[in-house]
């Protein structure tokens, strides 16, 4: 692969602030405090560099990107630079005025997250009273504005039995795309893994529900489906491969190959405050470390899937096997593959109590 080619997308994590407290959040446990966030000028410079580099899309995320007072300004700047603009939001702050301002700024697409299909359960998992009702209103605003809508549902042990209802809700909201994504176990989700990991029976039932819905909705609504690695025989290409397709900028400005990359504490991730986006992408050791296939251990290096899954997830290898260079335990060929089964077994009778994501957990915030 030619790594002088630009990444396809820039993931702009504007802030870790969020009114929700989802226990499966992919943000790090040590959340970036607001005082350390990039300024508006920092972000506009990054967006200009992204356009110059040849990046096509910018995905504004968080935390909750609408917690940034300058979001509309950043969307307008990205749009004027020729970038396709997408917001990934909880929707609880998306008022009539906000949607009007975003339309004026040139927003192209909005992804709206849901914690459940049921009001009470949605509010419980999001930790925000009245949040589900606000999401429904936000979906209405998005569609009335003529914008394409993606409805994102994160599923886990405690809500996965309602996937059919989630798909029905997405259909009722006139979403163009529905994402049914099993929790991926990083950040807060790893902390809460035993209370979130579904059983094999739940997974198999969900597979059938999604397959049936895809057939029924073919040509009308696209359904993306993400399964948990803990039941896999082969790993997936995390983020399309380390440093292959995306560059993620954290709220404090660090350039990351994926949102969980900072768990690899032996790597120094450069900041956009100190280095250009192009140099981070092409020259930084952090991006080069696990890019391509030369870094791979056996059996990955000789595997016929090495340029399909790109060795799987380095963050998962570190979290489970204790070694970021190890074969991803999701792979059946990994000597650590049994760790997946052990985690599944440990979740069977585990308590369902969840540790909510809270900014106050940052010691210096």
Place of tokens 């008022």: 95
Chain-centre distance for alpha carbon 93: 19
Residue 79 φ/ψ region, left for φ over 0, alpha for ψ in the -120 to 50 degree band, beta for the rest? alpha
Q: Are 64 and 93 in contact (CB under 8 A)?
A: yes
Which residues are paired to 148 by β-bridges? Answer: none
Say if residue 202 is exposed, middle or buried (CB neighbours under 10 Å; 0-12, 13-18, 19+): middle
Is 303 assigned a ligand-binding role in the annotation? no
The C-alpha angle 195, 197, 198, rounded to 5 degrees, equals: 115
Token pair of 305 as six digits: 């899937």
The whole-angstrom separation of Cα 57 and Cα 79 is 10
Q: Which residues, at least 6 apart from 157, have a Cβ–Cβ distance to it below 8 Å?
A: 195, 196, 197, 198, 199, 202, 347, 352
DSSP state of 10: E
Estimate the share of the chain in helix, then strand, then coil, as percent rounded to the nearest 5: 40, 15, 45
Tell me which H or E stretch contains 261. none
Is 315 assigned a ligand-binding role in the annotation? no
Is 300 assigned a ligand-binding role in the annotation? no
Which residues are paired to 128 by β-bridges? Answer: none
**Parallel, antiparallel or unpaired: strands 149-155 and 57-61:** unpaired
State the binding site for [4Fe-4S] cluster. Answer: 18, 22, 25
State the binding site. Answer: 18, 22, 25
């Amino acid at each position: 692969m030619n790594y002088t080619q630009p990444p396809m997308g820039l993931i702009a994590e504007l802030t870790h602030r969020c009114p929700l407290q989802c226990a499966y959040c992919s943000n790090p446990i040590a959340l970036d405090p607001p005082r350390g966030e990039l300024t508006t000028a920092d972000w506009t410079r990054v967006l200009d560099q992204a356009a110059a580099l040849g990046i096509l899309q910018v995905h504004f995320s968080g935390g909750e990107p609408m917690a940034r007072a300058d979001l509309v300004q950043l969307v307008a700047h990205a749009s004027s630079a020729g970038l396709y603009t997408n917001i990934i939001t909880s929707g609880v702050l998306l008022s009539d005025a906000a949607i009007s301002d975003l339309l004026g700024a040139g927003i192209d697409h909005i992804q709206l997250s849901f914690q459940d299909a049921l009001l009470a359960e949605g509010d419980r998992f999001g930790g925000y009273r009245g949040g589900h009702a606000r999401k429904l209103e936000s979906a209405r605003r998005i569609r009335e504005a003529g914008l394409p809508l993606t409805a994102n549902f994160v599923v886990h042990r405690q809500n996965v039995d309602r996937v059919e209802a989630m798909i029905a809700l997405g259909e009722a909201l006139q979403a163009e795309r529905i994402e049914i994504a099993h929790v991926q176990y990083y950040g807060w989700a790893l902390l809460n893994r035993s209370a979130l990991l579904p059983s094999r029976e739940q997974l198999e039932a969900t597979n059938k529900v999604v397959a049936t819905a895809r057939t029924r909705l073919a040509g009308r609504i696209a359904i993306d489906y993400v399964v948990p690695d803990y039941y896999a025989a082969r790993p997936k290409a995390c983020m399309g491969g380390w440093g292959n397709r995306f560059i993620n900028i954290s709220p404090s400005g660090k350039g990351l190959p994926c949102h969980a990359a900072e768990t690899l504490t032996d790597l120094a991730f450069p900041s956009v405050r100190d280095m250009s986006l192009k140099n981070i992408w092409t020259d930084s050791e952090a991006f080069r470390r696990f890019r391509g296939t030369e870094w791979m251990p056996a059996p990955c290096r000789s595997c016929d899937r090495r340029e399909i899954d790109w060795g799987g997830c380095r963050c998962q290898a570190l979290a489970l096997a204790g070694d970021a260079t190890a074969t991803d335990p999701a792979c059946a060929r990994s000597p650590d593959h049994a760790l997946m089964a052990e985690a599944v077994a440990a979740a069977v009778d585990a308590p369902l109590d969840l540790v909510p994501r809270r900014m106050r957990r940052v010691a210096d915030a």
